[in-house]
Chains A and B, each alone.
Chain A
Amino acid sequence: MTLTSKAYEVADFAAAQELYHANGWTDGLPVVPPTAGAVEAMLEWVGMSADQLIGIEPVRAMPLTAEKLAVNAVMAGCLPMHFPVVVAAWSAMLREEFLLHGATASTGGCAVLVVINGPIRLEIGASSGFNALGNSDRATAAIGRAIRLGLINILDVRPGAIDRSTLGHPGKYSFCIAEDEEDSAWLPLSETRGIPRGLSAVTVMAAQAPRQIMNEWTTKPEELLETFAAEMRANQRHYSIYPGNYAIVVPKQVREHLQNAGWSKADVQNFVFERARIKRKEWADVGKGAVVRDRGESEYAALDSPGHLLVVAAGGPAGGFGAVIPPWLGHKTKAVTVAIDACVDCEPPKKS
């Protein structure tokens, strides 16, 4: 395999860290030194040549090759078996409707939320239980970080360069979760978004930080979901009134109340679609009276349609919690779901 990346010779592991930090090639944390052997192992796992074009970022006409994704995935701590998810996530991010440049350059400071579905979750040990939105497991931690390092290094999305975020949020280190498909009666997110059952898939969304909710004092679906909808309304008031893709993460305790009452994901989407909406005059309650103008009675829904709500089953087994993950900014960007092409049951090709 012919790699074309420039190679640097360093004395040892510590010297490698200083090289990468000095050049601005990290997220501030130590990286795994990307040697040719480690990068080739990534590429072999997905059966890609080094120069395979994953896509072109259209605004700046920047090409992304499999080799560069692999270098950054190694640095992030990915194992070769994680790499198909990284490649699929990038393919999704490069779809026009994701608006990659805007989403990663914006002062709004969103991160790329990655949701993994299908059999690959189990193959790679991606956890969807305890601490699902935090440091839950090696696979989701490394995959999410690989996306960020790739943005930093391949597209120059570093703070003050292309990344103009005013604040950003902690998900910009890594923001990847796997859906709990085993302990849930619901359809997987990927299936609700058109991917056939049984296929592995990845969904990407330009996302703000999670906003945690709590309601452990009812079992009624309408009341439980009202708390989620209220948090979305709060986001409309405090952040952005405009509709876009929202994600809600529903852990087991709340999920079981909904499922016991026979509520499907579609039922959840329909209810939240109706309830998550505010009038423009509410801006006056939160210090934004200057922009209410003469449209105070205009109603703004948080979602353009029920299907714009991504309902994800994940989280530890106990606790009446949930999370709302708001969009970067309205529907300028859209969540994208793609199937993961690599054969997850295959062994890497034998070296000749």
Chain B
Amino acid sequence: MTLRVLDPTNERVAALGTLAPRLVTLKGKTVGFISNGKEGTKEYFGHLAQMLKDEHGVADVVLRTKSNYSAPADAHIADEIRNWHAVVTGIGD
């Protein structure tokens, strides 16, 4: 006897935003880093900032750190993103 069984997954895809236009070059741009505040982010972002400046001509790097590394970025950080040309964020473990 056959069984008809049901899909247990959400079957709904969360609404996604659209990708921002890609940058042609990083030269002269401002790049923001959003750190989750974990220990591993400190040296990593510091090193990355230096690389972006030395090797790609980035003009300025802005580092912001979330107040809670398990929650989305604070509103005041999200508001700042509009002032940057690119954002780097990720897991700091």
Contacts and interface: CB of A to CB of B under 8 A. Distances in A.
A60 interface: yes
The secondary structure that dominates the A interface is mixed
Interface string B1-36: 111111111111011000000000000000000000
Nearest to A106: B70
A14 to B, nearest CB: 10
Given A61-B14, A68-B10, A102-B70, A12 B4 contact: no
Given A60-B14, A99-B71, A25 B9 contact: yes
A7 B4 contact: yes
A62 interface: yes
B15 A61 contact: yes
Interface stretch (A29-37, A169-177, A215-223): A29-37
A3 interface: yes
Contacts of B89: none
Given A8-B4, A64-B10, 6 more contacts: A8-B5, A12-B3, A33-B3, A62-B10, A102-B70, A153-B9
List 9 tightest A-B contacts by C-beta distance, closest first: A102-B70, A153-B8, A5-B6, A6-B7, A33-B5, A71-B8, A60-B14, A5-B7, A34-B6
Interface of A: 3-13, 15-16, 19-20, 25, 33-36, 39, 59-64, 68, 71-72, 75, 99, 101-103, 105-107, 149, 153-156, 164, 329, 332-333
22 contacts: A3-B6, A5-B11, A8-B5, A9-B2, A11-B3, A15-B3, A19-B5, A33-B5, A35-B4, A35-B5, A36-B4, A36-B6, A62-B12, A62-B14, A68-B8, A68-B10, A101-B71, A105-B70, A149-B8, A153-B8, A153-B9, A329-B70
